[in-house]
Amino acid sequence: MTFSADTLLTLWDRLVWPLLRLMASISVGLMIANFIESLNWTRRIAFLARPLIRFGHLSDITGASFSMAVFSGVSANTLLAEAYDQDKIRKAELVLANLFNSLPTYFIHLPTMFFITVPLIKGAAVIYVGLTLAAALLRTFSIVIISRFLLPRPDSQEGPPADGGKTAIDWRQAMDKSWLRFKKRIRKILLVTVPIYIIVYVMNRIGFFTELEQAAAAYLAFIPGLTPHSMGIITLQIASELTAGVAAAGALLQEGKMEYREIILALLVGNILSSPLRAVRHQFPYYAGIFKPKVATELIVCSQAFRVFSLILVAAAFYIYAF
């Protein structure tokens, strides 16, 4: 069996190179999480979320994961996976912590989203971004309240370590310990992540996700407030990314075919419908490597269900106000 140069180039651009970047990202995140764990720094870096984790009866590990998620979602999830495997946190807190991290994850993508949407849909962008931010804040504060009732109060949540932080740090020992953990864990991650990533790639190439996207976009007429032009925006947003939907919305706005409120509602609906499919394509391969596949599936299902529910509430509130 022979492959043409174009086929090999396509495989490199769409499969091999993205997979290499994903594994590099996971490796760096795993090493950082192991190093922080080896140095017992989880309490020190949990300061960003201290008031929230104290109110929600969450542990310092969850607080540290929240702080790390501001810079790296992979490192944050790896820290949670390591803690769960070592029985430092229970399953309930693992799920809640993963949901809790949606706010810093949102802020990672906020600048890109804002500066893509503003030039294209102008004032509608401010409202749309504000509504998605409101949904992210709603998710975070809801999780804090839920966790306060579901989780017992940890034995200790604040204050410096018992030694006052004055004990000399053995950096070499911490690095050696991190490296041993890394080698043990990365093998398992490779054995799970690479096959799943390839399977998802093949499913995408044969049009499986395209069929799902078209099926989802075909049953939207029942949603009040959506015009025929809205269907085009939603379809593009589902089939591609936010940029495609926003570009279409900008053209329709420029031609006077749609109003701000119609564009905002269409983008919210497209966001709701595209999130689960995007999670399967982009999140599941690396989640299944960091967590056990069953746990990864549960986390993604809970995360997407909660995200969709919060966006539906925000979209419904906007519809009642604007229409």
pTM of the model: 0.76
Report pLDDT digits (tens) over 206-250: 876 566 656 655 666 566 767 777 777 887 777 666 777 888 888
Report pLDDT digits (tens) over 247-272: 888 888 877 778 899 999 999 998 99
pLDDT attached to residue 146: 95
pLDDT attached to residue 126: 93
Residue that wins the pLDDT comparison between 241 and 165? 241
Task: Tell me how far apart the alpha carbons of residues 234 and 198 are, in angstroms, rounded to a whole number.
Answer: 28
Q: For the chain, report the end-to-end CA distance as a whole number of angstroms.
A: 59
Task: Tell me how far apart the alpha carbons of residues 281 and 238 are, in angstroms, rounded to a whole number.
Answer: 12
Statement: residue 285 has pLDDT above 80: yes
Report pLDDT digits (tens) over 101-149: 988 888 877 877 888 788 888 889 999 999 999 999 999 999 999 999 9
User: What band does 166 get if pLDDT is binned at 50, 70 and 90?
Assistant: very low
Residue that wins the pLDDT comparison between 25 and 140? 140
Percentage above 70 pLDDT, the chain: 81
Average pLDDT, the chain: 80
pLDDT attached to residue 159: 47
Q: Which amino acid is at 246?
A: V
Task: Tell me how far apart the alpha carbons of residues 208 and 70 are, in angstroms, rounded to a whole number.
Answer: 33
Q: Three-class SS of residue 171?
A: helix
User: Can you say how many angstroms the Cα of residue 149 is from the centroid of all Cα atoms in its chain?
Assistant: 25
User: What band does 170 get if pLDDT is binned at 50, 70 and 90?
Assistant: low
